[in-house]
Each structure stands twice: as structure tokens, then as C-alpha cells.
Amino acid sequence: MDYFNYREQRLFAEDVAVEDIITEYGSPCYIYSKATLERHWHAFDSAFGKQAHLICYAVKANSNIAILNTLALLGSGFDIVSLGELERVLAAQSDPKKVVFSGVGKREDEIRAALKVGIRCFNIEVQGELDRINQIAGELGVIAPVSFRVNPDVDAKTHPYISTGLKENKFGIDIEGALDEYRRAAAMPHIEIVGIDCHIGSQLIETRPFLDALERVLKIVNALKAEGIVLHHLDLGGGLGICYNDETPPEPAEYVAALLKGLGDNNLEILLEPGRAISGNAGILVTKVEYLKPTEYKNFAIVDAAMNDLVRPSLYGSWQAIIPVQLGSKEPENEWDVVGPVCETGDFLGKDRRLALSQGDLLAIRSSGAYGFTMSSNYNSRPRIAEIMVDGDRMHLIRERESVAQLWAGEHLL
Ligand SMILES: Cc1ncc(COP(=O)(O)O)c(C=O)c1O
Ligand SMILES: N[C@@H](CCCC[NH3+])C(=O)O
């Protein structure tokens, strides 16, 4: 999505110089590439060949409506986890019949809204959710399509905060209890069983854990078949990792080929819920150096973006590449901690980065298209920043920078 144009000595996003985007819309901002998003989605979709499948992009990774609309126009489905995400996919003109609803804490109003628009299915994660869905479907006079998200107790070998398929994690129905839940569902009047689901974690860089999970899930599929409960689809969740630094995750084609091999001759439609692998490397966060603060112990480059704009480094200690937007600095290279203005010692975007910096320079934090803007906050009363989509040589403002007035709209004095 981004590359250096060495003749111009500047970073480009597709055919537009990043500097020009900042001149137009100001710093900091998120910049996304439409072509990269589309290419990543197609990489998953085309890997399936003739096998029946649906790519349900995980909205939580990047829920900008223009991004959802770009994917909806390709025919994408969506994995949502809240009413807010449902509203977004509908606003993006996607087909509700391609929406799967995951999440451990679905409220009554969320279930009602999803039933009214006719989503593809609920991924049930708690016993009580089945009863709640059955009851609400009965009240509405509809049949609710459901799938159970089982927890296969597989180690995803990723950061503990984003590992979701272990027994100690809150997600999914314990795999041992799954058969009983399916039997219970089969006896309910307002429920139609359509599938099975699992999602074992995020930023996985090996195929093995996915295959282990698939094997365990297939055992349930076969046990159900023996009881006459025939499933239509198997949803293997998202989780395929991307390269932030030197990771070498499998390409979507390789990953899908391994899954199809593991699936054998099962006649199931396959659903996937990739988020990061589609939008992560389709976005950068651009920020300006406000001040340079060399000290006896550390050199700090204080930039105008902060942990409220991109929390991954502070929250997980994750590493994302930080590169200059203009090449050819006359300054010597030095080691810098790239930090924001927020009043937290944990407010950093990168540590010990070798960069040649001057005040006013622009920096790009790469791989920021997933879990960047969507995890941003207003901490320190900082307005959320703008999002720009580049399409070839055109730039589009797809979300305006929040104003300070918008920040406290809705608050009242006593
Ligand atoms: C249920 C579910 N599906 C899909 C995803 C998307 O994961 P990723 O962005 O790693 O592909 C997540 C997040 O981990 C999730 O919780
Ligand atoms: N927010 C995490 C991923 C969590 C995925 C959601 N289940 C990250 O930035 O890596």
C-alpha cells in the first residue's frame, strides 16, 4: 500500500504522495489503500476455487463504512459483534444474509435487531444465549438460524490477550458440552441449526493450530451427523496473522489450501472471518514530530498521534514499523522513542527506533489498518482523527476529524 518514490524522495500511498494527503487533511490521520484491501479480500476468496465458501470480514478490525462498502461490493460477508457493527454493515449496503453475529454477551435488543433484518446466523457462545434467541424468535414469529462457537482448547501461540480458543478463555461453548447444546437446540421450536464455528485467536503465524482446531470441530460435525443433525456450514473464524516486522505467516492461498485438505470430503460450506489479514497492511497512521527531546537517558520524539489513536504498542507491547515520509534528512540517525502527548508513561508508538529526525517531520506507522482506528479513544479529551482512502491517484476523506465540540456533545450539567 505504501512505497518510497525514490525520484521524489517521498512516501506514496498508491499514486498519491503522503505529504500531499497531510497538506490537504492535516496530521495525524489514517490512510488506507482501496486496491490493497480488495487484493487481500480476493486472495482469500479466490483461494477456495469451486469449494462453497463465504468470506465474512471481521468488522472489528476496521469498521469504517467506506471500507465495509468496498468489501460489500466485492460480495463479502461480515462477522459482527454488536448492534453498532450491524448498523455499520447495513449502512455500508451489505446483504444481511451474509452477516454472522459472534460475541459472548449479545443483549436482547441486539438479538431482536439481528432477527428483524434476517442475518445469516448467530454464533452462540453461552448456553443462556440459545434460550434467549429461541424466546425472542418466538416473540417475533421467526426461526433463528444458529451455529455454536465451540472452544476447541487449542493453543494459538499468540499474545495471551488475543488468544481465544483455550479452556481458560471466556469464548465459545466448551467442546465437551457442545453435543448437548446441539441436542437442546434441535428440540427448540424457533431455532434452526445451520452450522458450527470456532475462532482460536488473532495474529496466528502458523497453520498448525488452525488444523488442530479444524480436526476437533470435525469430530463434532461427524458426531452430530450420526445423530441426524446435519450442518450446512463450518466457520473457522479469523486469526491469520500478518507481517509487522519479520513474521512469516502463510499466505491466504497456502492457509486455505491446508484447511481444505484438513476438511477432506466433508460437504460443508466454509466460512472464514479474517479481519487483520484483510485490512492490517492496507493502512498506515501518519503523524508529525512536534518536538524532539534528547535527554541524558533517552531521546524522545514527541509526535501528534498517541496511544488514544493507536493503542496496540501500549496495550500488547506490539511492534509496528515507523518510517519517515520524506527521505534525505540532513540530520544524523539516532535512537528515538516515538511517544505521544498523552499523560501516561505507556504512551508510546515505538521504542528505540533508528531515525534521522527534525521537528515537523512526518512519520508513517505501518500496518495500522486493523485494530488502529477501531480501538482509538478520546482519552485526554483528544478528538478522533480523520481517515482517508486512496483510490489510485485520488484521495477521499472517509471520516472527518472529530471536532472538540463533538467531544462533549451529549454531556449535560447537573
Ligand atoms: C469471533 C472473531 N472472528 C474474527 C476475528 C478476526 O480476527 P483477525 O483480525 O485476527 O482475523 C476475531 C478477532 O480476533 C474474532 O473474535
Ligand atoms: N485487538 C487485537 C486483536 C484482537 C482481535 C479481536 N478478537 C490486536 O490489535 O491485535
pLDDT band at 154 (very low <50, low <70, confident <90, very high): confident
Residue nearest (by alpha carbon) to ligand 2 atom 1: 371
Number of domains in the chain: 2
Residue nearest (by alpha carbon) to ligand 1 atom 5: 238
pLDDT band at 224 (very low <50, low <70, confident <90, very high): very high
Residues 19 and 69 in one domain: no
344 is known to lie in a ligand binding site: yes
Residue nearest (by alpha carbon) to ligand 1 atom 14: 202
Residue 414 maps to a domain = no
- In angstroms, the CA 383 to CA 93 distance is 28
- In angstroms, the CA 202 to CA 365 distance is 20
Q: How far is the CA of 317 from the centre of ligand 2 (A)?
A: 13
C-alpha distances (whole Å) from 246 to each of 72, 100, 162, 203, 284 are 31, 33, 19, 13, 18
Residue-level pLDDT at 283: 98
Q: Is the CB of 276 under 6 A from ligand 1?
A: yes
Give the ligand 1 atom nearest the CA of 202.
Answer: 10
C-alpha cell belonging to residue 371: 485494530
Looking at every residue in the chain, the average pLDDT score rounds to: 96
Q: What percent of the chain has pLDDT over 70?
A: 99
- In angstroms, the CA 282 to CA 261 distance is 29
Residues 95 and 233 in one domain: yes
Rounded to 10 deg, the angle between the 178-186 and 208-226 helix axes is: 40
pLDDT band at 161 (very low <50, low <70, confident <90, very high): low
pLDDT band at 157 (very low <50, low <70, confident <90, very high): confident
Residues 103 and 234 in one domain: yes
324 is known to lie in a ligand binding site: no
Instruction: Indicate the pairing of strand 29-33 with strand 283-294.
Output: antiparallel
Q: CB of 396 within 8 A of CB of 66?
A: yes
Q: How far is the CA of 406 from the centre of ligand 1 (A)?
A: 30
379 is known to lie in a ligand binding site: no
Residues 236 and 130 in one domain: yes
- CATH number of domain containing 218: 3.20.20.10
Give the ligand 1 atom nearest the CA of 203.
Answer: 10
Residues 295 and 211 in one domain: no
Residue 375 maps to a domain = yes
Residue 168, pLDDT > 90, answer no
As annotated, the active-site residues are: 343
Q: Find the mean pLDDT for residues 44-52.
A: 97
Cis check: omega of the bond before 341, within 30 degrees of 0 = no
pTM above 0.90, yes or no: yes
Residues 159 and 233 in one domain: yes
Residues 224 and 78 in one domain: yes
pLDDT band at 171 (very low <50, low <70, confident <90, very high): confident
Last residue of a domain, one of 277, 297, 327: 277
Residue 413 maps to a domain = no
Q: Is the CB of 103 under 6 A from ligand 1?
A: no
pLDDT band at 175 (very low <50, low <70, confident <90, very high): confident
pLDDT tens-digit series, residues 10-42: 999 999 999 999 999 999 999 999 999 999 999
Q: Find the mean pLDDT for residues 294-305.
A: 96
Q: CB of 345 within 8 A of CB of 301?
A: no
- CATH number of domain containing 343: 2.40.37.10
Q: Is the CB of 274 under 6 A from ligand 1?
A: yes
SS3 355: strand
Residues 209 and 261 in one domain: yes
C-alpha cell belonging to residue 112: 431482536
Residue-level pLDDT at 267: 87
Last residue of a domain, one of 247, 277, 307: 277
Q: How far is the CA of 162 from the centre of ligand 2 (A)?
A: 6
Residues 136 and 285 in one domain: no
Q: Is the CB of 199 under 6 A from ligand 1?
A: yes
Name the residue of 199, 256, 315 whose CB sits within 8 Å of the most ligand 1 atoms, as the mutation to test its pocket: 199
ipTM of the complex in this document: 0.98
Residues 15 and 52 in one domain: no
Residue 157 maps to a domain = yes
Question: In the block, which residue shows the cell 472464514?
Answer: 272
Residues 166 and 262 in one domain: yes
Residue nearest (by alpha carbon) to ligand 1 atom 4: 238
Residue 55 maps to a domain = yes
**Residue ranges making up the domain that contains 141:** 34-277
For the CA of 159, the nearest ligand: 2
Residue 364, pLDDT > 70, answer yes
Q: Find the mean pLDDT for residues 99-113.
A: 97
Residue 350, pLDDT > 80, answer yes
Q: How far is the CA of 276 from the centre of ligand 2 (A)?
A: 8
Last residue of a domain, one of 235, 259, 277: 277
Q: How far is the CA of 146 from the centre of ligand 2 (A)?
A: 25
User: Per mean pLDDT, which range of 101-110, 242-251, 260-269 is the poorest?
Assistant: 260-269
Residue-level pLDDT at 160: 73
Give the ligand 2 atom nearest the CA of 312.
Answer: 9
Residue-level pLDDT at 156: 74
DSSP 136-151: HHHHHT--EEEEEEEE
Residues 155 and 264 in one domain: yes
User: Per mean pLDDT, which range of 282-291, 323-332, 394-403 is the poorest?
Assistant: 323-332
